[in-house]
Structure 1
Amino acid sequence: MIFSDPFLFALSLIDTGAILFLQIYFIIILTDLESDYLNAQECCSKLNFWITPKLMAHTVLLTLLLFHGHWLLAFVNIPLAGWLIRELFHIPRGNLGVFDPAEIHNGGRLRKHLRDCMIYLGYYLLFFFVYLYCMIVSLLEGDPINRHEEDMIVH
């Protein structure tokens, strides 16, 4: 183990919280594009900048969970990491990135991107609370109140 479990889950909370804020930013930018407050070039350049940091944050979290032996949490995180990697490396030829200004208004792509962002937001929100629960449980391990030594508890 590299870190203690409470510290690992605190890092997981920070990482997941940062990704949550990033997903909210994605949703705000995409809805601004949908209502014509932004042009497609500006929107796509802002969003494409954050694709790689989001993937790196998720894979760092996955790697830490694997190193610490939290197999169930790592197993549940693997499909999303695979999906993010697939999304990044299967960009059609000629597109500028995952979000392409020439393609974003064609064929309902904007709606698809908004739907994907909402799914990611729900996923990370769920796991934020899972990591919070895991942190609380790991902090309470070991009986921190010393209940077996009644004379040491101050009333």
Structure 2
Amino acid sequence: MAEVFYWILSFVLILTIFCLLGYQLILLVDLEFDYINPYDSTSRINQVILPEFFMQAILCFLNLFGGHWFIFFISLPCLYYNATLYIKRQHYADVTEIYNKLNFEKKKRLFKVGHLFVIFILSILSLVWSLADEVR
């Protein structure tokens, strides 16, 4: 039963992080095409940055405590990067520099989406592997 709860929580966290990153990417694309002003865009992005970091940390430590070491080590670099940004106080989008850093911010979030997609695929494979071992 604990394994089922682990997988449900893991997939909910991964999908929530996907939604938060997708929301940030949509806001950056809207800013690029001048559908939204820089102040609104950065304020909306900044509202979801800390929840994204927090959920990434929960996902990482959930894999650690769940005994899924490979997925934990795969998700650890993203957690380290987020912690480094937070410690250096560079995690928020700056309204005055958003146009200069727009391409970098989009690429950073696309890289996070790709990284999270790899974790998602590995989680599905690990789920199938554990279910196959349970059936035997």
Q: Same fold (TM over 0.5)?
A: yes
Which residue does 1:142 correspond to in 2?
134
What is the match of residue 80 of structure 1?
78
Q: 2:63 aligns to what?
A: 65
| 2:45–2:93 contact (8 Å) kept in structure 1 | yes
RMSD value, Cα: 1.7
Residues matched between the structures, number? 136
Is 1:99 aligned to residue 80 of structure 2?
no
Q: Does 1:130 align with 2:128?
A: no
**Contact 1:12/1:61 (8 A) holds in 2:** yes
Structure 1 length normalisation: TM-score? 0.80
Instruction: Name the structure, 1 or 2, with higher relative contact order (CA <8 Å, separation 6+).
Output: 1
Deviation at 1:104? 0.9
Equivalent runs, 1:24-35 vs 2, <5 Å: 24-35=22-33
| Contact 1:5-1:135 at 8 Å conserved across structures | no
* Larger Cα-atom Rg: 1
Match of 1:147 in 2: none
Moved over 6 A (4+): none
Q: Which residue of 2 aligns with 1:46?
A: 44
Would you say the 8 A contact 2:46–2:93 is kept in 1? yes
Structure 2-normalised TM-score?
Answer: 0.90
Question: Equivalent residue of 1:50, what SS?
Answer: helix
1:130 corresponds to which letter in structure 2?
A: L
Give the structure 2 partner of residue 113 of structure 1.
105
> Which has more helix, going by share of residues?
2
Shift of 1:35: 0.6
Q: Which runs of 5+ in 1 are unaligned?
A: 145-155
AA at the equivalent of 1:5: E
Secondary structure of the residue aligned to 1:87 is helix
Structure 1 pair 40–65 and aligned structure 2 pair: CA distance change class (3 A) = same
Please, which moves more after superposition, 29-38 or 124-133? Answer: 124-133
Distance 1:49 1:88 in 2: 14
Q: Could you give the per-residue CA deviations for residues 113-152 of structure 1, whole angstroms, max 9, x where no partner exists?
A: 00001101111112112112212222232326xxxxxxxx
